[in-house]
């Protein structure tokens, strides 16, 4: 039995989009409220609430993608980097970008408080961020926009700290450009679900 109920519609329809317009289906205040609510409600291990979002809009969004391109070019001196230039130009053409961070101060405090789980805390921190990223991705989908998940950390980190005045204890985990999209998602293939889902009862 397939269900279209509630959250499943956004789960099914969420895809990676790479070609955006500088349009949003939400007013900026609605967008901010959506991300605040996601941050507020998405769980973190031991309820540390170490996840952080920096929402980049208008000129700050453009600046971020300029920083990414600069960082890529710096890492590849003398190379034209045509594909990267084209890709980054598309991300820059999105409406905004959500930057996902994890606060290392909170992570360190959690390790101090629960040293028995020392080796697990960083993994759980990543899980917490991933859950948040996914919820934001689905919420954007539900709002009629498309997004993709990017990882230009760590090459862009220094520019982000400097350029946006971000706390250096915030570790950049992922970047999500979003906006009304103009592309069709790629033709995703699926391995049989029977190879991935098992029941013992
Ligand atoms: C943990 C994770 C990391 C990803 N990192 C990137 C990335 O750095 N760049 C990118 O373009 N897509 C990235 N993706 C997108 C995946 O390639 C994409 O979700 C997958 O191929 C399935 O396609 P779909 O999103 O259209 O369903 C990432 C996805 C996940 C779940």
**9 domain-assigned:** no
Buried b (16+ CB within 10 A) or exposed e, 90-101: bbbbbbbbbbbb
State the Cα–Cα distance between residues 118 and 106, nearest whole angstrom. Answer: 13
Rounded average pLDDT over 113-127: 93
Which domain does 77 fall in, by range?
A: 17-181
Report if residue 80 sits inside a domain: yes
Model pLDDT for residues 134-143, shown as the tens digit of each residue: 999 999 999 9
Note whether residue 188 is domain-resident.
Answer: no
Give how many domains the chain has, as a whole number.
Answer: 1
Position 49 in a domain: yes
Q: What are the Cα distances from residue 18, in Å, to 15, 21, 99, 156?
A: 10, 10, 17, 20
Per-residue model confidence (pLDDT) at position 159: 98
Look up the CATH number of the domain holding residue 104: 3.40.109.10
**Distance from residue 16's CA to the centre of ligand 1 (Å):** 7
For residue 129, is it within any domain?
A: yes
Residue 201 inside a domain? The answer is: no
pLDDT given for residue 3 in this prediction: 62
Do 31 and 24 meet the contact criterion of CB atoms below 8 Å apart?
yes
pLDDT of residue 2 exceeding 70, the answer is no
Instruction: Report pLDDT for 110.
Output: 96
| 4 or 132, greater pLDDT | 132
User: Can you tell me the distance from the alpha carbon of 66 to that of 45, in angstroms, rounded to the nearest whole number?
Assistant: 34
Question: What tens digit of pLDDT does each residue of 8-40 get?
Answer: 999 999 999 999 999 999 999 999 999 999 999
Among 12-21, 99-108, 110-119, the range scoring the smallest mean pLDDT is 110-119
Give the per-residue pLDDT at 62: 98
Whether residue 48 is contained in a domain is answered as: yes
Across 22-31, 46-55, 116-125, least confident range: 116-125
Q: Output the CA 1–ligand 1 centroid distance in Å.
A: 27
Q: Which of 186, 137, 107, 144 is nearest to 25 (CA)?
A: 144
| Nearest CA owner, ligand 1 atom 12 | 149
Pocket-testing residue among 149, 175, 185, ligand 1, by greatest number of atoms within 8 A of Cβ: 149
Beta bridge partners of 172: 101
User: Which range is least confidently modeled, 1-5, 92-96, 147-151, 194-198?
Assistant: 1-5
């Amino acid at each position: 039995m397939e269900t279209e109920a509630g959250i499943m519609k956004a789960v099914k329809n969420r895809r990676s989009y790479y070609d955006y317009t500088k349009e949003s289906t939400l007013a900026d205040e609605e967008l901010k409220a959506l991300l605040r609510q996601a941050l507020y409600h998405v769980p973190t291990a031991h309820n540390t609430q170490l996840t952080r979002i920096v929402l980049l809009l208008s000129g700050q969004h453009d600046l971020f993608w300029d920083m990414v391109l600069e960082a890529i070019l710096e890492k590849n001196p003398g190379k034209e980097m045509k594909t990267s230039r084209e890709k980054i130009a598309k991300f820059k053409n999105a409406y905004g970008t959500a930057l996902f961070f994890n606060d290392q101060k909170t992570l360190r405090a959690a390790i101090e408080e629960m040293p028995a789980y020392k080796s697990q805390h960083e993994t759980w921190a990543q899980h917490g961020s991933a859950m948040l990223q996914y919820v934001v991705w689905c919420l954007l989908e539900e709002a009629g926009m498309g997004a993709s998940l990017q990882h230009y950390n760590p090459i862009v980190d220094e520019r982000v700290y400097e350029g946006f005045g971000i706390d250096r204890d915030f570790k950049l985990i992922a970047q999500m450009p979003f906006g009304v999209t103009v592309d069709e998602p790629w033709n995703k293939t699926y391995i049989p679900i029977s190879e991935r889902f098992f029941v013992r009862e």
